[in-house]
Chain A
């Protein structure tokens, strides 16, 4: 068997036959890529490990320093102790949830309009939707602040203005994500539903929406993480309000409470569990189907 293969190869490509090198190349492409991938993953996890370790650190001074000094659980049981930390977390959750809901709703509607309907000004609309993504965050934040100040909104800078800004930069990402899903969708399924006497609303609710759902959920998760973690735009539009990223930034030079590392670790663990659970749920559903 092996001899036949070798002979064939030699006869088909007599000049450059290198059968002895090929297995090596294949082994490399099989394992080297995976190895490099795993190394990159390790690199991604370096700061996470660091944050995890320091969440158990008992700092000697008031500020959580770089060195690990002694083990303690106390940071984990006193998350809300540093002044303002839990308030900032609460504000961040409120902002992100509101912004995510608004951006997902508006963006999904826009994606449907762009993929499913033809009208004049489509390419202009596409450009306007794309531009915010090509705008660096400093520019977006500064122009929003300039506008808020000029229309006299500077006295109410806070929750509302942060949400306005977050919806703005999430919107384009939602449109792009949902659009990608809608474009790949087989719309013959909807035609079939219509053929089977479903009216437009039933078709939408029972066929279109469930098919588009993975895209919508992905867009919402993306929005939430973009919004929750945003610093630059928020820094311009927040006024006196303090979201979690602003809190972290504010405490980087003053006393840096060790509880911040606990929150960091929790954010990682919760999202990890959440993403795994979502994936298991998706698998179960597709198994039932």
Chain B
């Protein structure tokens, strides 16, 4: 079963792909409804967002905006909010790294060490995330609050000064991001670790590699696709998140998402909101492309 399913896909897939003329004929039709959805509700709005970002910023929600190809909107947006961008990417980056450090042992334990408890552990990882993330984040807000047990503990131990706080600090916001995006890291990691043929790891051991070397040279490289997709699935939503900053932080910890949200929904400053959105999207896509190139797993997408 395992041997059969690991080797053939490439040649067999090629046979099917290059299949008969008929398959070629209506194959792309299957793509049409979904692509239409993406074109109408994703590509078109993105183009429109770009147009909006060039409106004259002196217009208003009530009076409407004049199209003036006002590229200076981007400069203004960057000038005012570069610190928000920097903070967003820093928070998301730290959260992604910590997620990887926590999620990897968990995924590894489930894939290789849990034995008969494997599926049960997997369910334990997934099930909590069916509970509303807002409720969970609000729970963290009370758990990390000034009178809460965690703050008390750290004060007693001396990590925090007596008047030190956890809530309303960057630590709380990053902890919230880590918690909320944990399954997006753990599940892809598990999926690729689970495919690793454990006999290869044993073979490394038989050839006198230490468990650590075996891990470094065999297990980890084989799990790399999971690491790449896990980090992407964590980093991307974390960059744009504004709930954790809002519920666990103060305006001092606000991320670029908070600014976009406010510009759109409360200030109705559409040109600013649109240029911020597009900058965020461009930077994220650029980072993702570079990262995926670097990791050498382009076929992943």
The answer, yes or no, to whether B251 is at the interface (CB within 8 Å) is: no
Q: Which of A115, A127, A264, A272 contacts B123 (CB 8 A)?
A: A272
Q: Which of B113, B147, B247 contacts A33 (CB 8 A)?
A: B113
**Residues of B with C-beta under 8 A to A260:** 135
Task: List B194-214 residues whose CB lies under 8 Å from chain A.
Answer: 208, 210-212
Task: List B102-137 residues whose CB lies under 8 Å from chain A.
Answer: 102-103, 105-106, 108-110, 112-114, 119-121, 123-136
Cα distance A229–B241 in the bound complex, in angstroms: 14
Q: Is the CB of B280 within 8 A of A50?
A: no
Chain A: how many interface residues by the 8 Å CB criterion?
Answer: 100
Cα distance A275–B125 in the bound complex, in angstroms: 11
Chain B: how many interface residues by the 8 Å CB criterion?
Answer: 102
Q: Is the CB of A231 within 8 A of B45?
A: no
Most-contacted residue by chain A among B33, B127, B129, B179 (CB, 10 A): B127
The answer, yes or no, to whether B4 is at the interface (CB within 8 Å) is: yes
Q: Which of B247, B277, B284 contacts A143 (CB 8 A)?
A: B277
Q: Is the CB of B133 within 8 A of A229?
A: yes
The answer, yes or no, to whether A44 is at the interface (CB within 8 Å) is: yes
The answer, yes or no, to whether A249 is at the interface (CB within 8 Å) is: yes
Given the known interface contacts A118-B17, A188-B8, the answer about A139 and B260 at a Cβ–Cβ threshold of 8 Å is yes
Given the known interface contacts A36-B105, A129-B38, A137-B237, the answer about A147 and B128 at a Cβ–Cβ threshold of 8 Å is no
Q: Is the CB of A232 within 8 A of B4?
A: no
Q: Is the CB of B260 within 8 A of A252?
A: no
- Give B residues with C-beta under 8 Å from A: 4-5, 8-9, 12-13, 15-19, 23-24, 27-31, 33-35, 37-39, 41-46, 48-49, 52, 102-103, 105-106, 108-110, 112-114, 119-121, 123-136, 138-140, 142-143, 145, 147-148, 179, 182, 191, 208, 210-212, 215, 232-233, 236-237, 239-243, 247, 257, 260-261, 264-265, 270, 273-274, 277-278, 280-281, 284-285, 288, 301
